[in-house]
Amino acid sequence: MKALRYIASQNNKIITVSELVKKLRIPHSFLRKILQILNKKRILKSYKGQGGGFMLALKPDEIFLADLIRIFHGPFKFNDCLFVKKKCPEVNSCILKRKIDNIEQRVIAELKSITLESLLQ
Protein backbone atom coordinates (compact mmCIF):
# COMPACT_ATOMS: atom_id res chain seq x y z
CA MET A 1 0.00 0.00 0.00
CA LYS A 2 2.89 2.35 0.75
CA ALA A 3 4.27 1.83 -2.76
CA LEU A 4 0.88 2.36 -4.37
CA ARG A 5 0.32 5.53 -2.35
CA TYR A 6 3.70 6.89 -3.45
CA ILE A 7 3.14 5.98 -7.11
CA ALA A 8 -0.33 7.57 -7.04
CA SER A 9 1.04 10.75 -5.51
CA GLN A 10 3.45 11.26 -8.42
CA ASN A 11 0.78 12.33 -10.96
CA ASN A 12 1.13 9.72 -13.71
CA LYS A 13 4.91 9.70 -13.63
CA ILE A 14 6.73 6.40 -14.17
CA ILE A 15 8.39 5.47 -10.88
CA THR A 16 11.45 3.24 -10.72
CA VAL A 17 11.90 0.47 -8.17
CA SER A 18 15.09 2.22 -7.04
CA GLU A 19 13.17 5.41 -6.29
CA LEU A 20 10.58 3.47 -4.29
CA VAL A 21 13.28 1.61 -2.36
CA LYS A 22 15.02 4.89 -1.52
CA LYS A 23 11.88 6.83 -0.58
CA LEU A 24 10.06 4.06 1.28
CA ARG A 25 13.00 2.08 2.70
CA ILE A 26 11.53 -1.25 1.55
CA PRO A 27 13.95 -4.06 0.57
CA HIS A 28 14.47 -4.14 -3.20
CA SER A 29 13.75 -7.84 -3.81
CA PHE A 30 10.61 -7.79 -1.63
CA LEU A 31 9.26 -4.66 -3.33
CA ARG A 32 10.08 -5.96 -6.81
CA LYS A 33 8.04 -9.12 -6.20
CA ILE A 34 5.07 -7.12 -4.93
CA LEU A 35 5.19 -4.77 -7.91
CA GLN A 36 5.38 -7.68 -10.35
CA ILE A 37 2.29 -9.27 -8.78
CA LEU A 38 0.42 -5.95 -8.97
CA ASN A 39 1.46 -5.66 -12.62
CA LYS A 40 0.17 -9.17 -13.40
CA LYS A 41 -3.12 -8.33 -11.67
CA ARG A 42 -3.35 -5.12 -13.76
CA ILE A 43 -3.20 -2.76 -10.80
CA LEU A 44 0.10 -1.38 -12.14
CA LYS A 45 1.61 -1.00 -15.61
CA SER A 46 5.28 -1.77 -16.03
CA TYR A 47 7.65 -0.10 -18.45
CA LYS A 48 10.91 -1.80 -19.33
CA GLY A 49 14.26 -0.37 -20.36
CA GLN A 50 15.90 2.99 -19.77
CA GLY A 51 13.46 5.18 -17.86
CA GLY A 52 11.32 2.17 -17.07
CA GLY A 53 9.40 1.55 -13.92
CA PHE A 54 5.80 1.41 -12.78
CA MET A 55 2.69 3.56 -12.81
CA LEU A 56 -0.92 2.95 -11.88
CA ALA A 57 -3.02 1.03 -14.41
CA LEU A 58 -6.21 2.13 -12.65
CA LYS A 59 -7.38 5.37 -11.12
CA PRO A 60 -6.78 5.58 -7.34
CA ASP A 61 -10.54 5.45 -6.71
CA GLU A 62 -10.69 2.12 -8.59
CA ILE A 63 -8.12 0.38 -6.37
CA PHE A 64 -9.77 -1.16 -3.29
CA LEU A 65 -8.06 -2.43 -0.16
CA ALA A 66 -10.28 -5.55 -0.26
CA ASP A 67 -8.93 -6.41 -3.73
CA LEU A 68 -5.32 -5.99 -2.60
CA ILE A 69 -5.91 -8.23 0.40
CA ARG A 70 -7.45 -10.84 -1.89
CA ILE A 71 -4.48 -10.61 -4.31
CA PHE A 72 -1.87 -11.20 -1.61
CA HIS A 73 -3.72 -13.32 0.95
CA GLY A 74 -6.58 -15.00 -0.89
CA PRO A 75 -10.25 -14.83 0.10
CA PHE A 76 -11.05 -13.10 3.35
CA LYS A 77 -12.42 -15.80 5.65
CA PHE A 78 -13.24 -15.83 9.34
CA ASN A 79 -16.08 -18.29 9.16
CA ASP A 80 -14.33 -21.66 8.94
CA CYS A 81 -14.80 -23.49 12.20
CA LEU A 82 -12.35 -22.15 14.75
CA PHE A 83 -12.22 -25.23 16.94
CA VAL A 84 -11.81 -28.34 14.78
CA LYS A 85 -10.10 -29.13 11.49
CA LYS A 86 -12.98 -31.24 10.16
CA LYS A 87 -16.22 -29.59 9.13
CA CYS A 88 -18.61 -29.42 12.02
CA PRO A 89 -21.92 -31.27 11.49
CA GLU A 90 -23.69 -28.28 13.04
CA VAL A 91 -22.20 -25.78 10.60
CA ASN A 92 -25.65 -24.68 9.38
CA SER A 93 -27.14 -24.16 12.83
CA CYS A 94 -24.14 -22.90 14.79
CA ILE A 95 -24.85 -19.64 16.61
CA LEU A 96 -21.14 -18.78 16.83
CA LYS A 97 -20.69 -19.28 13.08
CA ARG A 98 -23.66 -16.99 12.36
CA LYS A 99 -22.17 -14.28 14.55
CA ILE A 100 -18.73 -14.65 12.94
CA ASP A 101 -20.32 -14.59 9.46
CA ASN A 102 -22.01 -11.32 10.40
CA ILE A 103 -18.69 -9.83 11.58
CA GLU A 104 -16.96 -11.06 8.43
CA GLN A 105 -19.55 -9.40 6.18
CA ARG A 106 -19.18 -6.08 8.01
CA VAL A 107 -15.37 -6.25 7.80
CA ILE A 108 -15.49 -7.07 4.08
CA ALA A 109 -17.91 -4.20 3.44
CA GLU A 110 -15.60 -1.81 5.28
CA LEU A 111 -12.54 -3.04 3.36
CA LYS A 112 -14.42 -2.64 0.08
CA SER A 113 -15.12 0.99 0.97
CA ILE A 114 -11.41 1.86 1.36
CA THR A 115 -9.80 2.97 -1.87
CA LEU A 116 -6.29 4.10 -2.64
CA GLU A 117 -7.79 7.53 -3.28
CA SER A 118 -9.17 7.67 0.26
CA LEU A 119 -5.68 6.93 1.62
CA LEU A 120 -4.05 9.76 -0.32
CA GLN A 121 -5.86 12.50 1.58
Euclidean distance between CA atoms 80 and 88, whole angstroms: 9
Whether 98 and 51 share a structural domain: no
Ranges of H-type helices in 56-94? 65-73
- The count of other CB atoms within 10 Å of the CB of residue 12 is 8
**Does one domain contain both 34 and 68?**
no
Q: How many whole angstroms separate alpha carbon 81 and alpha carbon 63?
A: 31
At 58-88, the pLDDT tens digits run 999 999 999 999 999 988 776 666 555 566 7
Q: Are 67 and 116 within one domain? A: yes
Read off the pTM.
0.81
Give dist(CA 108, CA 80) in Å, integer. 15
Domain CATH for 50: 1.10.10.10
Check whether residue 73 and residue 49 sit in a common domain: no
**Range of 107's domain?**
63-120
Q: Are residues 103 and 68 in the same domain?
A: yes
pLDDT digits (tens, 9 = 90+) for 5-41: 999 999 889 999 999 999 999 999 999 999 999 999 9
Rounding to the nearest 10 degrees, give the CA dihedral for residues 17, 23, 24, 30: 20
Are 73 and 114 in a shared domain?
yes
- In this structure, are 47 and 71 located in the same domain? no
Query: Could you tell me if 72 and 93 lie in one domain?
Result: yes
Residues 44 and 70 in one domain: no
Contact 28, 22 (CB under 8 A): no
